[in-house]
Chains A and B, each alone.
Chain A
Amino acid sequence: MKFGIVTFPGSNCDYDSYHAVADVLGLPAVYLWHKSTDLEGVDVVVLPGGFSYGDYLRAGAIARFSPIMKEVAAHARAGGPVLGICNGFQIACEAGLLPGALLRNEKLQFVSDRVYMRVENADTMFTSRCETGDVLRIPVAHGDGRFTADEETLDRLEGEGRVIFRYVNADGVPDATSNPNGAMRDIAGIISAEGNVLGLMPHPERAMEELVGSADGRRIFESLLARVSA
């Protein structure tokens, strides 16, 4: 199973993603330059975190027009897994691969912290190695993470089991301080209607080893592995 990690100008979690896949999991990984139009036969595309194009205009708005994104969209349409992390989530929303938008954090401050997120649906290719209700401890680092969509879209996402991760406290319950950015309905991550595109604000690729405080992020990558190897 080969991972392709897209590098946009201003991406800064592409190395973390590469490390997670190649060094921690020992799987083949390649960087895909944003100007390339060749996915090099990868099975999974990672849109990494960072500040592509300086977050000019809106986070993710310009990256969406990078040449590689046409190929990423085609890969997604064909059912290929796409993992959009942080800025990658913002890009996926701007590109229409996922509904909604990520707006400026409610408190207007950049948040760099560890949060807890609860697995809301374990029956997806990204969460099969979790149980619904599991609480994962994962870092966040973003200024524009407030997931926003109209009520109809939110109801549809919930109804179709597409809200995959929700911000909670250590006990697995949302409370007044568990949501780091004011995201509507405490949403931390969602999947596409077909279930093959995941966008989330927390950084699972930065939680791959106990050495850095949590290895909970591995479960997302291991879920993907289990699916493709099955």
Chain B
Amino acid sequence: MSRFRVAVHIVPRKGILDPQGKAVSDALHSLGFDGVTDTRIGRHIVLHIAAPDAKAADAQVREMCGKLLANPVTEDFEIATVEAA
């Protein structure tokens, strides 16, 4: 078993109204960042886990996202990084 640090991004799914993201987009526009076309605000979760290898760590975290960390009805997730820890 090796130790891994896995970071996951979880954001509201495309098409789901994200009022926080919209408010931030509006604020960025008022600052002159006209190029911002969308902002999504979600969660960033960092897990430290023991797994045989990086692929297994990645697979475990995907399963965790499906079962608990993300709501499959409204959220998408992506594994940002899997690093040896």
Residues of A within 8 A of B (CB): 57-58, 61, 65, 93-94, 99-101, 103-108, 146, 148-150, 182
Binds A, one of B15-23, B27-35, B53-61: B15-23
C-alpha gap A12/B25 in the complex (Å): 36
Taking a contact as CB atoms under 8 Å apart, the answer to whether B71 and A108 are in contact is no
Whether, in the assembled complex, B79 has its beta carbon less than 8 Å from a beta carbon of chain A, the answer is no
A104-B73 CB under 8 A given contacts A57-B68, A61-B68: no
8 A-B contact pairs sorted by A residue (CB < 8 Å) = A58-B71, A99-B73, A100-B73, A104-B19, A106-B17, A106-B19, A146-B17, A182-B17
Taking a contact as CB atoms under 8 Å apart, the answer to whether A149 and B73 are in contact is yes
For chain B, the bracket of interface size reads 10 to 19
C-alpha gap A149/B73 in the complex (Å): 7
Taking a contact as CB atoms under 8 Å apart, the answer to whether B74 and A101 are in contact is yes
Point out which of A58, A99, A146 has the most chain B C-beta atoms below 10 A from its C-beta: A58
Whether, in the assembled complex, B69 has its beta carbon less than 8 Å from a beta carbon of chain A, the answer is yes
Q: How far is the CB of A130 from chain B (nearest CB, A)?
A: 29
Please report which residues of chain B, range 1-29, place their CB below 8 angstroms from some CB of chain A when the two chains form the complex. 12, 16-17, 19-20, 23
Taking a contact as CB atoms under 8 Å apart, the answer to whether B19 and A148 are in contact is no
Taking a contact as CB atoms under 8 Å apart, the answer to whether A108 and B73 are in contact is no
Contacts of A65 in B (CB 8 A): 68
Q: How far is the CB of A222 from chain B (nearest CB, A)?
A: 33
Taking a contact as CB atoms under 8 Å apart, the answer to whether A57 and B73 are in contact is no
Chain A residue nearest in CB terms to B45: A57
Contacts of A100 in B (CB 8 A): 73
Taking a contact as CB atoms under 8 Å apart, the answer to whether B23 and A108 are in contact is yes
Q: How far is the CB of A94 from chain B (nearest CB, A)?
A: 7
- Among A57, A101, A108, A149, point to the contact of B69 (Cβ < 8 A): A57
A103-B74 CB under 8 A given contacts A108-B20, A148-B16, A182-B17: yes
